[in-house]
Amino acid sequence: MQIKFYQEEEQVPLEMHKVRVVQKLFLRPIEERLQCIKEAGNNTFLLQNKDVFMDMITDSGVNAMSDNQVAAMSIADDSYAGSETCNRLIKAIEEVFGTKYFLPAHQGRACENILAETFVKPGQFTLMNFHFTTTKAHITRMGGSVIELVRPEGLEPNSTEPFKGNFDIPRMKQIIKELGAKNIAFVRIEAGTNLIGGQPVSLENMLEVAQICKENGIMSILDASLLQDNLYFMKTREAMCKDMSIKDIMHKLGEVMDIIYFSARKLSFARGGAIISNNENYILKMKEFIPLYEGFLTYGGMEVRSMEAMAVGLRETLDIEYICQGPQFIQYLVNELDKYGIPVVKPAGGLGAHIDARAILPHIPQSQYPAAALATALYIASGVRGMERGTLSEQRNPDGSERYADMELVRLAMPRRVFTLSQVKYCADRVKWLYDNRELIGGLKWEDEPKVLRFFFGRLQPIGDWQEKLAAKFREDFGESL
């Protein structure tokens, strides 16, 4: 799992795989990158992939599949009903999680929609360590509210707490007492809290949350989309998991959680999603929504070849040599950025490295979206496409006022088995140059603001001509270099 080099200065994460298929990349000149970000409305989601050198906007659906996954896709049973592909996937899920019941969906947010439709009533509350954008949108759409109960350390970028995604247990108990269990739709645990730096949750904390839910008659739900990285951190950071196998941990979660759901675009490196449980009553309540929103019960909106890949990918999750590559590469990038003095969320979590835009750009108020501005500046400086995880990713309050995020982060996601270390070093180098020229970066303002999930397709414009000045400084420092 950890391989040391004889020469101490040469310590780097060692890939436990070989690359046999490559895809050509293009790095456009900075003048073209400046034009591309303008045409994209200063929203990195609207950039065209042909204009991106390193795509670090997400690790969802962009990971490299294994040879066994690709091979499995060739034996898919394309039957509409009674598919053997579905039977093989159910068997894999039972083997990996120890759960009996399975409902298919086309991806994680489809699972969230079904959970919200089934269990959230107007005026109810959902408790979670931290929200995810689509999760919250589905809950509020049904008239519910979200209460976040992450421990205070989770919102401190430089806290050394190894499990910064943990629930604040005393506060959870207090909230349940104040609200009353009947007013709580469910408690959701997000393994690897996305919006606060991919920070993990300990097994001990998950078990305690599940026990509190059981004692109060409240449903416990685990979002396992980022569980793979979380498993790595449990194994390497948590004493109680040291002598447990990955399978032991997953079976324990399958045993104590009422419902588990996940996006296969993250967990298993495939496409699709799943809701799983040992509780037949919960499954029966959700079952009718699958044909209504997704597809028949044997595919649920998924393409069958992806289901075969999911089955193999889930089994590969049990292999520590498969799941260690992502966290180790993220740790390497975080270490490089930290070495350069760049404010970054520590300790390194899963999903990607997270740059602290608020610390880098204190001159930009949150009303001018500093994380989004930094993401556009990074693309201009490097061709690297990162993602804003701050106020832009929030939704406005019911009265139309801005809900300012607890953290203003730029996420540099690390798709698994995709980038080389030289590319990661290039990314760190360009972030360093940007940090040294941070006073040139200005804010953004809305040009076209959607009402729902605005960060996906909204358009902004720079306040002033700071982007042209940044490009000019780059050309001054780098000459003819790309």
List residues with catalytic annotation. Answer: 80, 132-133, 223, 266, 389, 455
Q: Determine the distance from the C-alpha atom of residue 157 to the mean position of all C-alpha atoms in its chain, rounded to a whole number.
A: 17
Q: For strand 184-190 and strand 145-148, is the pairing parallel, antiparallel, or unpaired?
A: unpaired
CA-based angle 471:370:392, to the nearest 5?
120
φ/ψ of 327, rounded to 5, equals -60, -35
Tokens linked to 185? 């739709």
Measured CA to CA in angstroms, residue 290 lies from 53, 82, 90, 212, 306 at distances of 38, 16, 16, 30, 18
Q: For strand 184-190 and strand 220-223, is the pairing parallel, antiparallel, or unpaired?
A: parallel
Strand, coil or helix: 145? strand
Which 8-state DSSP code applies to residue 294? Answer: I
Tokens linked to 457? 């397709």
Short-list 411, 402, 401, CA closest to 357 = 411
Measured CA to CA in angstroms, residue 71 lies from 76, 86, 311, 446 at distances of 10, 17, 12, 46
Tokens linked to 324? 């260690």
Contact criterion met (CB below 8 Å) for 192 and 199: yes
Contact criterion met (CB below 8 Å) for 390 and 194: no
Tokens linked to 437? 């020229």
Terminus-to-terminus CA distance in the chain, angstroms? 36
Residues 61 and 415: their CA atoms lie apart, in Å, by 9
